[in-house]
Chains A and B, each alone.
Chain A
């Protein structure tokens, strides 16, 4: 069974204070690992897809990295508008939920204080 564990559950940072969010996963053949951002009352917004260990992707102040067991979302010099819940999900080549299904973690609630 595919599993995704995100840590920490919540993180409060000062504006400009860089940090990292962790996503540990177990999957029977990784098709892709996804990072999403979710604002209150809205649907998840796609950020990145990572396919293989060693891959990195960047977007503004965010950088996602991938190993065989975990992914990190690095936030550099964050601003208050980066406050959101960040979700990690994996898609397995052999998912019991179907080849289409994503298995999500519970998310990290990030607050950036001015």
Chain B
């Protein structure tokens, strides 16, 4: 099993550009989440999903969109990148909302 796979691992964007961070899991987990990790801030929840077709906002959702068309995939879209979105992004999944498995992260720089 691959677990939680995130792509790309690194990305540099110009302000105003859009992009999609990919996340896929092969564990048949119904719960999936996106977090961002910033120095001195800890991990913060952006969006989450409790199953295909169901998404909701977390603590810091502004500037990000998500959709969940399949159990396996949970992409995160940046609509118009801003320097404040420079961060490391982690996708996580779990069965029943407990004991999350995290991906290896996407390091995003917005210039």
Q: How many residues of B contact A (CB 8 A)?
A: 28
A10 within 8 A of B: no
Judging by beta carbons under 8 Å apart, are A46 and B100 in contact?
A: yes
**Cross-interface CB contact of A43 among B33, B58, B90, cutoff 8 Å:** B90
Judging by beta carbons under 8 Å apart, are B45 and A49 in contact?
A: no
Judging by beta carbons under 8 Å apart, are A97 and B58 in contact?
A: yes
Q: How many A-B residue pairs have CB under 8 A?
A: 72
Contact A44:B43 (CB < 8 A) given known A91-B98, A101-B33: yes
Q: Name B30's closest neighbour in chain A (CB-CB).
A: A100
A87–B43 Cα gap in the complex (Å)? 9
Judging by beta carbons under 8 Å apart, are B105 and A42 in contact?
A: yes
Judging by beta carbons under 8 Å apart, are A98 and B48 in contact?
A: yes
Judging by beta carbons under 8 Å apart, are A100 and B103 in contact?
A: no
Judging by beta carbons under 8 Å apart, are B99 and A49 in contact?
A: yes
> Given the complex, which residues of A lie within 8 Å of B99, measured CB to CB?
34, 46, 49
Judging by beta carbons under 8 Å apart, are A98 and B102 in contact?
A: no
Interface segment among A13-21, A60-68, A69-77, A102-110: the answer is A102-110
Contact A98:B57 (CB < 8 A) given known A43-B105, A49-B98: yes
B66 within 8 A of A: no
Contact A102:B42 (CB < 8 A) given known A43-B105, A44-B90, A97-B58: no
A104–B38 Cα gap in the complex (Å)? 12
A39–B61 Cα gap in the complex (Å)? 26
**Cross-interface CB contact of B45 among A36, A87, A98, A106, cutoff 8 Å:** A98
Judging by beta carbons under 8 Å apart, are B101 and A46 in contact?
A: yes
A-B pairs, top 3 by smallest CB distance, nearest first, are A43-B102, A104-B43, A101-B45
